[in-house]
Amino acid sequence: MTGPRYPDLIARLPETVPFVGPEVQERAMGQLFRARLGANESAFGPSPFAIDAMQDAAADVWMYSDPSSFDLKNALSARMGCTPENIVLADGIDGLLGNCVRLLVTEGDAVVTSDGAYPTFNYHVTGFGGTLHKVPYRDDVEDIDALLARAAEVDAKLVYLSNPDNPMGSWHPGARIESALNRLPDGCVLALDEAYIEFAPEGTAPRIDPQDPRVIRFRTFSKGYGMAGARVGYAVGEWNFIKAFDKVRNHFAMSRISQAGVLAALEDDLWLREVVRKTAEARERIATIAGDHGLSTLPSATNFVAVDCGRDGAFARAVLDALITRGVFVRMPGVAPLDRCIRVTAGKPDDLDVLAEVLPEALAAAQGTSEGG
């Protein structure tokens, strides 16, 4: 009796999970988190209209979704100033990144990203055999000049940039990205991840012709629209490139319920503005809580705040572990010097009350651990 015959590439891959879910941690601890502040979900939730639309659509869940997402593409194209043919949808930005990498990258192909940037992108590149080339952040911001220089050096097929950035919350003005496009090597595509764009200052989103074949832009309903569990992301790009996604995508990746929900969410700009306002207030509260205990925070254009613990990654990890032990789910960057920080999602007032309660205890515990070590 024999088992499956894995391709050599798959056999060589490590068993990697980009993010360990809070539910996994809760089961391991045997208790629920008191405050869920680690996954950058929107604690403020979706528009009530979106909830109503999803509830109404539940009776039709026996049917597959419209694989062309006709209504949703038309609504999004009106928002994005493009045609429906410029848009492809999938199960979140993660699904779109996987499809994009599958389209462009084969074994040995060079791909450039920042060291410490979104790990799920790296997961897909490694999974399809691409060779990752990483450049460091500069002053806690992704270094566009270094990314493009490395892309030219290695003849990269793909360059990944998130704006605003995860995990640090930093951002570049859109004009900065516009001016950099002419330095992309021939045949190289910029994968521009704009998951947090709804929270960013005006002018952060670059003005790029949807038909520019050098760029594909990724957006999501997981953050500002508060629908992470619905798994809906979309990409905007040149017609032929977007059409190529039909060769590899899961055409039924979204449910009818998700499609109905995001369509309704797009019509409720008032709710989105309210979520952005509450998120800004929560960021300020996190900064105050951190400052009350001698910590600083980085400027953020997202729905989270990077809290600088003031020492090295080992100390920040001890703070994070102490918070988790006390029922506060947070995460942290994985690469020095970014890993001196912990990353705290903008939560509801009750969530941040819990953070304020346990942070001094966590800092004291981490200090004891550090001195003991």
In the predicted model, residues of the chain with pLDDT beneath 70 are: 370-373
pLDDT value of residue 15: 85
Contact 150, 136 (CB under 8 A): no
Examine residue 2 and state whether it is found in any structural domain, yes or no: no
Contact 275, 117 (CB under 8 A): no
Give the Cα separation of 126 and 102 in Å (integer): 11
Contact 333, 304 (CB under 8 A): no
Q: Assess whether the previous peptide bond of 337 is cis (omega < 30° from 0).
A: yes
Task: Provide the CATH number for the domain around residue 36.
Answer: 3.90.1150.10
Q: How far apart are CA 31 and CA 37, in angstroms?
A: 16
Q: Which domain holds residue 15?
A: 8-45+270-372
Q: Are residues 357 and 318 in the same domain?
A: yes
SS (H, E, C) the chain: CCCCCCCHHHHHCCCCCCCCCHHHHHHHHCCCCCEECCCCCCCCCCCHHHHHHHHHHHHHCCCCCCCCCHHHHHHHHHHHCCCHHHEEEECHHHHHHHHHHHHHCCCCCEEEEECCCCHHHHHHHHHCCCEEEEECCECCECCHHHHHHHHHHHCCCEEEEECCCCCCCCCCCHHHHHHHHHHCCCCCEEEEECCCHHHCCCCCCCCCCCCCCCEEEEEECCCCCCCHHHCCEEEECCHHHHHHHHHCCCCCCCCHHHHHHHHHHHCCHHHHHHHHHHHHHHHHHHHHHHHHCCCEECCCCCCEEEEECCCCHHHHHHHHHHHHHCCEECECCCCCCHHHEEEEECCCHHHHHHHHHHHHHHHHHHHHHHHHC
Question: Same domain, yes or no, for 334 and 368?
Answer: yes
Verify that 287 and 367 share a domain, yes or no. yes
State residue 17's pLDDT score: 78
pLDDT for position 83 = 98
Same domain, 246 and 236: yes
pLDDT digit string, tens, across residues 263-315: 999 999 999 999 999 999 999 999 999 999 999 999 999 999 999 999 999 99
Q: Do 101 and 202 reside in the same domain of the chain?
A: yes
Q: How many domains does the chain have?
A: 2
The pLDDT of residue 368: 82
Whether 177 and 209 map to the same domain: the answer is yes
Q: Please indicate, yes or no, whether residues 187 and 201 belong to a single structural domain of this protein.
A: yes
Give the model confidence (pLDDT) of 110-123 as tens digits.
999 999 999 999 99
Are residues 197 and 292 both part of a single domain? Answer: no
**Inter-residue contact 16 to 309 (CB < 8 Å):** no
Q: Tell me: cis bond preceding 164? Omega within 30 of 0 counts.
A: yes
282 and 145, same structural domain?
no
33 lies in some domain: yes
Q: Are residues 235 and 309 in the same domain?
A: no
Is residue 240 in a domain? Answer: yes
Q: Which two tokens stand for residue 166?
A: 């995860």
Give pLDDT, residue 191. 98
Q: What is the C-alpha separation between 202 and 240, in angstroms, rounded? A: 30
CATH number for the domain that contains residue 139: 3.40.640.10
The reply to whether 152 and 256 lie within a common domain is yes
Last residue of a domain, one of 236, 268, 300: 268
Instruction: For helices 48-57 and 256-266, give the axis angle rounded to 10 degrees.
Output: 150
Residue 367 lies in a domain: yes
**Boundary (domain end) residue, out of 246, 268, 290:** 268
Is residue 3 situated within a structural domain? no
Amino acid 2: pLDDT: 86
Q: Over the range 122-140, which residues count as b (16 or more CB within 10 Å of their CB) and which as e?
A: bbbbbbbbbeebbbebeeb
Angle at 195 between CA 340 and CA 273, to 5 degrees: 105
Asked if residue 80 and residue 26 are part of one domain, the reply reads: no
pTM (predicted TM-score): 0.96
- Which of 268, 299, 334 is the last residue before a domain boundary? 268
What is the predicted pLDDT for the residue at 371? 61
